[in-house]
């Protein structure tokens, strides 16, 4: 395999970045292909002085469905002979729910494969590159696209490399950092556009994680409601698999206070409740909830250990990405434990006053040097509200 930077591309390869960019764009047309990665593929034939022509495009729409490469090969048929395939992830070499893509590329006559990231799946992990080369194919790694390709599948990489999902935490507050009035009244701080944006965050994740306090206080359904996403017919068709699958809902319920009539339990789809050993819960004998035990944090014997919960969601449920939609205390605990990979804060342009409830229940920060710092990734206006996306420093 030859590693190339964009600045090293010769005259015949000047359009390569454009093709790889297109492959990334195709991969991103699905919210999630979980537990699989999102992958895009563009097949290009070089016509000497006429330049490149794109003969096929494909992307992976979800586990059990064809991978990106066979989709693109079918789209290119019968023109793939002697072509170059641009794939955002190393083609696979194993037979899983579908056959090996490296063989499919060779059989279709593709002679060059350009990738933007290696597959961390131990069943592949360099094996796809080796299989292509063993069959006489040339393989190039376009290094300048690695960050974008990994970002596209940050959850998949997190699960395979760190054994835990990528964690996004969503919060909403007033301009003065309050989430509710002192009496707890809070419904709809943000506008309808921000709520539709939250539906998108739900579509992108593989589990929504919340706490028992939120369930007891608000009885949220925590469901994905495709109609609220405002999608075009094309987008709906493309995301058919994802949108037909209800979101997995997870409740952290240390002491077993969840009731079987809570919406989070009764809505269609799976609900998992984690509790501490020794706590009784109806969930144990219920078919509507999957009851699981989690260890306590050690420091706080009454709270479930968040890292253990995340590790179990990665291992048992193949969650690539989870969305924490919880109250001040649980969100604060995730942040304090250093487990939040991306924080999304919606800010409603209204003031709730100093008696209102604070965004996060974090105490014990006494020195400025104790402050937990973030880096702003983006700031957007969503309807009447402001959406700030941040990463931990
Ligand atoms: C590719 N192209 O488009 C994707 C790949 O169970 P399967 O057969 O769907 O295989 C899933 C694994 O294949 C997944 O964990 C990852 O390693 C790879 N995904 N590979 O060549 C694709 N989605
Ligand atoms: Zn494959």
Does 119 sit in the ligand 1 pocket, CB within 6 Å?
yes
Q: Cα separation of 342 and 323, whole Å?
A: 10
Q: Cα separation of 262 and 210, whole Å?
A: 13
Does 93 sit in the ligand 1 pocket, CB within 6 Å?
no
> Is pLDDT at 301 greater than 90 in this prediction?
no
Q: Would you place residue 252 in the very low, low, confident or very high pLDDT band (cuts 50, 70, 90)? A: very high
- Location of structure tokens 């699960």: 159
Contacts of 318 (CB under 8 A, 6+ apart): 34, 35, 159, 206
Q: Would you place residue 19 in the very low, low, confident or very high pLDDT band (cuts 50, 70, 90)? A: very high
Q: What is the mean pLDDT of residues 203-232?
A: 95
Of all atoms in ligand 1, which is nearest to the CA of residue 41? 3
172 bridge partner residues = 346
> Is pLDDT at 185 greater than 80 in this prediction?
no
168 CA from centroid of ligand 2 (Å): 28
| Residue 250 near residue 313 (C-beta atoms within 8 A) | yes
Q: Give pLDDT tens digits for 256-298.
A: 999 999 999 999 999 999 999 988 888 788 889 999 999 999 8
Q: Which is nearest to 25 in space by CA: 238, 316, 286, 224? A: 238
Q: Which is nearest to 326 in space by CA: 243, 239, 220? A: 220
Measured in degrees and rounded to the nearest 5, phi and psi for residue 334 equal -60, -45
- How deeply is 287 buried, as exposed, middle or buried, from its count of CB atoms within 10 A (0-12, 13-18, 19+)? exposed
Residue nearest to atom 18 of ligand 1 (CA): 92
Q: Cα separation of 43 and 1, whole Å?
A: 19
Q: Which is nearest to 123 in space by CA: 89, 93, 88? A: 93
Q: What letter would DSSP give residue 89?
A: S
| Residue 337 near residue 306 (C-beta atoms within 8 A) | yes
258-263-266 Cα angle (round to 5): 90
Least confident of 104-108, 119-123, 186-190, 370-374: 186-190
69 CA from centroid of ligand 2 (Å): 7
Residue nearest to atom 15 of ligand 1 (CA): 36
> Is pLDDT at 208 greater than 80 in this prediction?
yes
Measured in degrees and rounded to the nearest 5, phi and psi for residue 229 equal -80, -15
Q: Would you place residue 189 in the very low, low, confident or very high pLDDT band (cuts 50, 70, 90)? A: confident
Q: Give pLDDT tens digits for 352-370.
A: 999 999 999 988 888 998 8
Residue nearest to atom 21 of ligand 1 (CA): 91
Does 30 sit in the ligand 1 pocket, CB within 6 Å?
no
Tokens coding 350:
């209204």
| Residue 69 appears among annotated catalytic residues | yes
pLDDT of residue 280: 84
Q: Cα separation of 202 and 137, whole Å?
A: 40
Contacts of 15 (CB under 8 A, 6+ apart): 44, 51, 52
Ligand 1 pocket, mutate which of 75, 96, 116 (most atoms under 8 A from CB) = 96
Does 250 sit in the ligand 1 pocket, CB within 6 Å?
no
pLDDT of residue 51: 83
Q: Would you place residue 48 in the very low, low, confident or very high pLDDT band (cuts 50, 70, 90)? A: confident
pLDDT of residue 270: 97
Q: Cα separation of 149 and 115, whole Å?
A: 9
Question: What's the whole-number average pLDDT of the chain?
Answer: 95
Q: Which is nearest to 97 in space by CA: 132, 115, 70, 135? A: 70
Q: Give pLDDT tens digits for 80-115.
A: 999 999 999 999 999 988 889 999 999 999 999 999
Q: Would you place residue 62 in the very low, low, confident or very high pLDDT band (cuts 50, 70, 90)? A: very high
Q: What is the mean pLDDT of residues 328-343?
A: 97
pLDDT of residue 300: 83
Total-model pTM = 0.95
Percent of the chain with pLDDT over 90: 88
Q: Which residues surround ligand 2, an ion (CB under 5 A)?
A: 67, 92, 101
Q: What is the mean pLDDT of residues 49-64?
A: 93
pLDDT of residue 98: 86
Contacts of 186 (CB under 8 A, 6+ apart): 179, 180, 218, 357
102 CA from centroid of ligand 1 (Å): 11
pLDDT of residue 162: 98
Q: Would you place residue 325 in the very low, low, confident or very high pLDDT band (cuts 50, 70, 90)? A: very high
Q: Give pLDDT tens digits for 144-159.
A: 999 999 999 999 999 9
């Amino acid at each position: 395999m030859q590693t190339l930077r964009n600045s090293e591309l010769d005259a015949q390869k000047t359009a390569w970045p454009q093709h790889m960019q297109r492959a990334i764009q195709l991969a991103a047309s699905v919210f999630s292909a979980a537990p699989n990665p999102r992958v895009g593929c563009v097949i290009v034939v070089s016509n000497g002085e006429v330049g490149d022509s794109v003969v096929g495009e494909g992307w992976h729409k979800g586990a059990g469905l064809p991978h990106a490469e066979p989709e693109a090969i079918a789209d290119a048929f019968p023109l793939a002979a002697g072509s170059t395939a641009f794939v955002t992830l190393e083609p696979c070499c194993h037979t899983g729910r579908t056959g090996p893509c490296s063989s499919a590329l060779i059989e279709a006559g593709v002679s060059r494969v350009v990738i933007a990231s290696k597959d961390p799946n131990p069943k592949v992990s360099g094996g796809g590159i080796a299989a292509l080369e063993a069959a006489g194919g040339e393989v190039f790694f376009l290094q300048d696209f690695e960050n974008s390709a990994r970002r596209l599948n940050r959850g998949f990489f997190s699960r395979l490399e760190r054994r835990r999902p990528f964690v996004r935490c969503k919060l909403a507050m007033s301009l003065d950092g309050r989430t509710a009035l002192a009496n707890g009244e809070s419904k709809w701080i943000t506008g309808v556009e921000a709520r539709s944006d939250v539906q998108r965050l739900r579509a992108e994740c593989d589990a929504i994680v919340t706490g028992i306090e939120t369930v007891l206080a608000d009885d949220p359904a925590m469901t994905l409601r495709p109609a609220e996403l405002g999608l075009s017919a094309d987008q709906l068709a493309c995301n058919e698999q994802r949108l037909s699958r209800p979101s997995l809902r997870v409740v952290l319920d240390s002491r077993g206070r969840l009731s079987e009539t809570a919406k989070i339990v009764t809505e269609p789809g799976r609900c998992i409740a984690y509790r501490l050993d020794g706590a009784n819960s109806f969930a144990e004998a219920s078919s509507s909830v999957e009851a699981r035990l989690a260890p306590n944090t050690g420091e706080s014997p009454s709270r479930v250990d968040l890292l253990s919960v995340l590790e179990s969601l990665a291992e048992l449920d193949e969650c690539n990405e989870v969305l924490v939609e919880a109250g001040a205390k649980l969100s604060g605990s995730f942040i304090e434990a250093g487990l939040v990979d991306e924080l999304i804060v919606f800010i409603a342009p209204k003031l709730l006053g100093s008696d209102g409830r604070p965004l996060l229940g974090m105490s014990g920060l006494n020195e400025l040097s104790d402050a937990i710092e973030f880096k702003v990734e983006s700031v957007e206006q969503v309807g009447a509200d402001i959406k700030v996306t941040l990463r931990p420093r």
